[in-house]
Amino acid sequence: MFTKAGVIVEKEVTTLENKQEQKEIPSIYSLRIEELEAWLKGNDEPKFRANQIFEWLYSKRISTFEEMTNVSKGLQEKLANAFTLTTLKTIVKQESKDGTIKFLFELHDGYSIETVLMRHDYGNSVCVTTQVGCRIGCTFCASTLGGLKRNLEAGEIVAQVVNVQKALDEKGERVSHVVIMGIGEPFDNYDNMLSFLKIINHDKALNIGARHITVSTSGIIPKIYAFADEQLQINFALSLHAPNTELRSKLMPINRAYKLPDLMEAIRYYIKKTGRRVSFEYGLFGGENDSVMHAEELAALIKGIKCHVNLIPVNYVPERNYVRTPKDQIFEFERTLKKHGINVTIRREHGSDIDAACGQLRAKERKEETK
């Protein structure tokens, strides 16, 4: 560990080539409690053991099955044969002056993922990754460099929160919020993402309230309908980033497959079905989508929709050509939306002195994965 200009950095150098092929064993963190109960039943063990096991996993946050001292040796062995206790190896840990901590974790097969802890007045929020890489290809995003390598299983997403919680245990603090906005498109790994939500929300697991969880999508329309039908009380965000089809297709190629008018219809369905408002994420890219004219167009697009707009001044991503919108112009954009009665905030920057934008740290440290 060394300290550099207020940034604490921990780093262990390993590369994908170092890694051996490893046997695929499911993670115990992928199981919902009812799935664990069913597994216990199938292995001639009483159902109540599920509560005990969950307590060891999520309250005591053990690292080996042998630590489950009120569970018989026989059951410990059965668990160890059937499941892994997913451990994520910390390759890099960067800490910003504002308290943001960015982790680059290594998975069992050598791939790497990013997880970020952000400090807010209202609590500690963890931004999780759902895929190794991403195939959506948003032009402003470093996470999509090198494409999609694989989906994460639910337990690998859960383990990110558990790992961050372990880091907070030392400070006597708790993870209170989770945002699914890290590397990957959550709706492109829909079933695992849904299991993840249900596990972290469960009171015997991490007990993170539904209203403290936010999932964000680039706009995979069929999954928006499916998610609406789940009728969860989770916060839902759409990465919109453009007020018209042409510009959105330029910034986000997914818009060619799932067009803006159809997307807005899906959003309306979501609101009708859940009664919840949605958040529109709007990254401001200098000279691209950040003029008053764009703000007017955006106001017209979302008129009458129960929503909130999050304006995100973009961080400069070296691999891409977008530049930052000047401060005055950001405020002007905000004022224009407010004039139309739209709820809008400018997102506070987290970790501006570290590799803050999604995918940047991985792109820098793991060039072989992101080529």
Q: What residues act catalytically?
A: 114, 358
Residue 277 CB coordination number (10 Å)? 14
Give whichever of 79 and 263 is closer to ligand SF4, judged by the CB atom. 263
Helix 221-230 and helix 190-201, axial crossing angle in degrees, nearest 10: 30
Q: Considering the rule CB under 6 A, would residue 221 count as an interface residue with ligand SF4?
A: no
According to the annotation, is 240 in a ligand binding site?
yes
According to the annotation, is 232 in a ligand binding site?
no
CA distance to 43, 286, 339, 356, per residue, from 330 (Å): 59, 10, 14, 20
Q: For residue 44, report the phi and psi dihedrals to the nearest 5 degrees.
A: 55, 40
According to the annotation, is 134 in a ligand binding site?
yes
Q: Considering the rule CB under 6 A, would residue 185 count as an interface residue with ligand SF4?
A: yes
Q: How far is the CB of 137 from ligand SF4 (least distance, A)?
A: 6
Residue pair 251/290 in contact (Cβ under 8 Å)? The answer is no
According to the annotation, is 51 in a ligand binding site?
no
Picking from 89, 119, 96, the residue whose alpha carbon sits closest to that of residue 19 is 89
Please identify which residue in the block is written with the tokens 């115990």.
28
Q: Considering the rule CB under 6 A, would residue 165 count as an interface residue with ligand SF4?
A: no
Q: Considering the rule CB under 6 A, would residue 288 count as an interface residue with ligand SF4?
A: no
Q: Which two tokens stand for residue 159?
A: 């383990």
Q: Considering the rule CB under 6 A, would residue 134 count as an interface residue with ligand SF4?
A: yes
- The four Cα atoms 250, 256, 262, 268 give a dihedral, to 10 degrees, of -50
- Of 179-187, 287-295, 318-326, 362-370, the window that binds ligand SF4 (rule: CB under 6 A) is 179-187
Q: How far is the CB of 260 from ligand SF4 (least distance, A)?
A: 16
Q: How far is the CB of 359 from ligand SF4 (least distance, A)?
A: 7
According to the annotation, is 63 in a ligand binding site?
no
Give whichever of 316 and 331 is closer to ligand SF4, judged by the CB atom. 316
Residue pair 363/142 in contact (Cβ under 8 Å)? The answer is yes
Q: How far is the CB of 314 from ligand SF4 (least distance, A)?
A: 11
CA distance to 138, 241, 251, 252, per residue, from 135 (Å): 9, 18, 14, 11
Q: Which of 27, 115, 201, 218 binds ligand SF4 (CB under 6 A)?
A: 218
What is residue 177's three-state secondary structure? strand
Q: For residues 136-155, which are near ligand SF4 according to CB under 6 A?
A: 136-138, 141, 143-144
Annotated binding site: 134, 138, 141, 184-185, 216, 239-241, 315
